[in-house]
Chain A
Amino acid sequence: MSEIEELMSEREEIEMLLPWYATGQLDKGDAARVEAYLAQHPELQHQLSLVREEQRANLVLNEALPVPPLPSADELMARISGEGSRMSTIRSLGRALTAAISGFFETPSPRAIRWAAAAAAVVIIAQAAVLGVFMMREQASYIAASGPGEGANGASVALISFADGATPAAITSLLEENHLRIVDGPLPGGFFRVRFDGELSSGNDRQQLLAHLSSRRDVIKLVLPSQ
């Protein structure tokens, strides 16, 4: 292989790794390799920014998908029943699954609960620590990306990511001023789903709220509409 071919090959390999670099899914060795290449070839930063755009769009696309309808549990129970399980087991599992689906729509997810705890801490701990909590990845216990109840009742209004320089106090204040609370996150790309606790009488109200949030560059980096 010629030197030029080798250089091209290395570049292609790095380009192929960029999506996983952006999502933090490379092992240490490959991540270091990408970082070193990016440092030497800053023109590749453009491609990294394209990857991040793609991830954002993919998040919006997936978050706009519906949540599974309630009859799923009944369907599942009927299938289990058809397999000849003991009736007592079926009835018990049926109640359990129905409760699971109901709970799915009525209660905050464990992730949301974890966020609530983190949000309470926001007021009193340093921003760096808060951001650390925000970005913490818990792959093993990753909960459904949308708080299911939020998608179901339509009250979720946006996905937001916070500005790098936003202080915990400013975040808390902005959320309170606008009757918003975070119900889920962090989602891919470092986004959080926020829910509006008031009444939005029209699509215009919603648009105005989103526009207002977008204008608060001191606190919010990006606002994306959510179902």
Chain B
Amino acid sequence: MRVEATDGELMTRIAGQDQSALRSLLGRHQLRVYRFVLRIVRNEAVAEELTNEVFLEVWRNAKVYEGRSAVGTWLLSIAHHRAVSSLRKRREANWDDDAAAELRDESDDPETTVQKADKTELLRRVMEQLSMEHRTIIDLVYYHEKSIVEVSEVLNIPANTVKTRMFYARKRLSELLQAAGVDRGWP
């Protein structure tokens, strides 16, 4: 039976310029990295470009990977840094299309939202209205299932900040639901 190489083994091989190892790592993590970035930048073309940059960085810097964090966490850390830098640059350049899209999301009519009877769908829509920081931490915890320490590594913030940021993101979710007419009984 063929045993799959671990992510760490792939990184060692990539450091030795092994293309097949990069191929394996790409197949394993590309989708998660892309979706993580896409949720931050909200633009498919930009997300695609940034995802490529993440794997390019892996190719260039595999030798500096020290294995202190899981490869998946390291990739998300690179992805987060690049996505946030990209957002900053675009805002500085007054990329009005994206700003407008974000504003439209924020101003989603609560009445429209509440018409979505299904609770999951309603929550999903409300999650789209969260700030970038809150969206990101919720994705890292719920979708990528990262621990407090791992989220701390990806976002480069202290563990206590991770906990409070997640708490306030959830609180904001409840407030948005309340504004849409749904009382969750918390906070």
Contacts and interface: CB of A to CB of B under 8 A. Distances in A.
| Interface of B: prevailing SS | helix
B26 interface: yes
Interface stretch (B88-96, B99-107, B145-153): B145-153
Contact of A68 (B6, B17, B31, B60): B31
A67 B70 contact: no
Contact of A16 (B44, B59, B139, B166): B166
A188 B139 CA distance: 11
Contacts of A100: 23-24, 26-27
Contact of B141 (A23, A47, A97, A224): A23
Interface in B126-148: 127-128, 138-139, 141-143, 145-148
Given A25-B146, A60-B120, A145 B31 contact: yes
A101 to B, nearest CB: 8
A61 B130 CA distance: 13
A25 B49 contact: no
A65 B51 CA distance: 15
B48 interface: yes
A76 B173 CA distance: 37
B120 A103 contact: no
Contact of A67 (B34, B60, B166): B34
A97 B28 CA distance: 12
B175 interface: no
Contacts of B13: none
A62 B35 contact: yes
B143 A89 contact: no
Contacts, number: 161
Contacts of B59: 80
Contacts of B86: none
A170 interface: no
A89 B14 CA distance: 13
A50 interface: yes
A60 B182 CA distance: 20
A69 interface: yes
A143 interface: yes
B22 A75 contact: no
Interface of B: 4, 6-8, 17, 19-20, 22-24, 26-32, 34-35, 38-39, 44, 47-49, 51-53, 55-56, 59-60, 70, 72, 119-121, 123-124, 127-128, 138-139, 141-143, 145-148, 150, 163-164, 166-167, 170, 173-174, 184-186
27 contacts: A16-B164, A16-B166, A23-B142, A25-B145, A26-B147, A53-B119, A56-B123, A57-B119, A57-B120, A57-B121, A57-B124, A58-B124, A62-B143, A68-B30, A68-B48, A75-B49, A76-B52, A80-B56, A93-B22, A97-B26, A100-B23, A139-B70, A139-B145, A141-B6, A141-B28, A145-B31, A145-B143
